[in-house]
Chains A and B, each alone.
Chain A
């Protein structure tokens, strides 16, 4: 139909010359509109960077004790520099033992406050020590990964190598459905049901603790690790498996000693992405970890994570207050951390995976 109509409009044969001359409004508009929408949505994504950091920056140039100093022109650059320094000092402090204070190289009282071990944001002398929060996030994440990674990787090996095709068709959608469980539902289950069962079984003191939060978190991490690891295992070229089987290796020997090593970068990426997801997950830790900002290594004590702190305190904070900006700083740290993890998984691991399959 459409082509007939066009022919009627242009009865003359189309040569490359008169095709070029013809200008189509709909074509032009569609292309420009699509490009514009694409760039608007991507610009909005870029804005996330700008605004989270913009709201975090004031932490470093308005000190709680000192009177407001007038820093009209140099505000922006100073804030950014201090932020970079703060982040660096933070990661250094975390590497060494988790309790070391910054040596106050910038001389900023705020920085020292941020690196202290007390989180007490409300009061006449608010303390914004981030150490317990960072430690808390790490503890819950590591417990979650220790539970989730072995289970998910074993399940991925099972589905890709051992399960009969019919069972595979059944297992994969089920684990995909688990990925669709809202985290608030898993948090609710942990809080209302799992917490009681665990406490009755093991008889520990605190009902809500790192172990419980980690177990609940594992449920959200398992589908991520499983899906990516299973993809990586399935992406191993068939000839490698066939060569192994032809040499007399059994099915399980092939799976463990040929397929799994070949898919290691992908499995590693799966764990990295799982780590990032667990580190930033909010609702589960908010509901199931007790939210006490303690510094300890025990996994049977309550804990307060970075994400839970934002979630619990942001709604009650006064806009423009130093507390408000510190919460944004925590968000910025979370952002940088997870973004880096994802970037590493995306760039480094995927490249290696491709090279490996080509090289072998």
Chain B
């Protein structure tokens, strides 16, 4: 009986360990495949030149710039708004009020709405509704300037997509600031805003940063929302205005691997582009994880 129990135990632990190992192995396998496929093509020239000869040669410079610009605009639009919303939720709203609970529910459920739906919203709201309105106001309304996909609409769509991510992680960081600190600050005669600005925010800065980085890494990797809100198939010149279209690493990978007429000739370019995108999101995620574990270990002390 004891032997039987021990054998079953070994089986249970072995199976669960094998499952864990399988997941880790799958991840390592993907990373290795992409590194191996892309490392020969990856070079300084590849990173700093535009595609040439129908995208079968040259580099991915416009795609890198487009991705970075998209992420920057998205962060400028989304991270402050998300952080302020989180401050409102945790410091100003009455915690048990219907409004606060509804908002929290909406934010949590929206985090699970597919990114392609955000893309549809971006097209219907920003491009068609706001864009058409702006064209009517600022120009003759015949020539399309804003009522077409561009980098501004793509970044705003992306900002909206990452808003729940920012709100949830910043709120968590703010909640981790001990209540005693707030009480001490208020007891010394500081007002609520002074407490928020001088006590709560400095003490949750790491968490706010983590939220921002997570949002940025999600924004860098998502392709579905920009499919029809601004990404361009091929555009050697860099975007020079908010109303220009742009190239994007993820979209470039999608286009090259599914619509390219000569998949074999561009295989190296495809792998290398994927490698660049993977490294970008890897660095971002890794720094977020490091920051978060630093915050956690500081809280334990």
Contact = CB atoms under 8 A, between A and B. Distances in A.
B76 interface: no
Given A52-B121, A334-B114, A182 B281 contact: yes
B278 A3 contact: no
A287 interface: yes
Given A180-B221, A189-B30, A334 B116 contact: yes
Given A38-B85, A180-B217, A281-B114, 18 more contacts: A34-B92, A35-B92, A37-B81, A38-B92, A45-B107, A46-B106, A155-B19, A158-B13, A158-B17, A180-B282, A184-B251, A185-B278, A189-B274, A311-B227, A334-B116, A335-B114, A338-B112, A338-B117
Nearest to A47: B125
Nearest to A339: B109
A343 B163 contact: no
Interface stretch (B4-12, B41-49, B57-65, B135-143): B4-12
Contact of B109 (A42, A178, A319, A342): A342
B189 A177 contact: no
Contact of B17 (A45, A162, A173, A219): A162
Nearest to A314: B228
Interface residues of A, number: 92
Contacts of A189: 30, 33-34, 274
B198 to A, nearest CB: 8
Contacts of A334: 114, 116-117
Given A151-B23, A342-B109, A38 B88 contact: yes
Nearest to A276: B112
A322 interface: no
A65 interface: no
A84 to B, nearest CB: 19
Interface stretch (A23-31, A70-78, A110-118, A120-128): A23-31
A162 B16 contact: yes
Given A38-B89, A342-B108, A192 B114 contact: no
B222 interface: yes
Contacts of A27: 191-194
Interface stretch (B173-181, B234-242, B253-261): B253-261
A157 B23 CA distance: 14
Nearest to B267: A192
B134 interface: no
A154 B251 CA distance: 35
The 8 closest A-B pairs by CB, nearest first: A280-B114, A182-B221, A154-B19, A180-B285, A38-B88, A158-B16, A282-B224, A342-B112
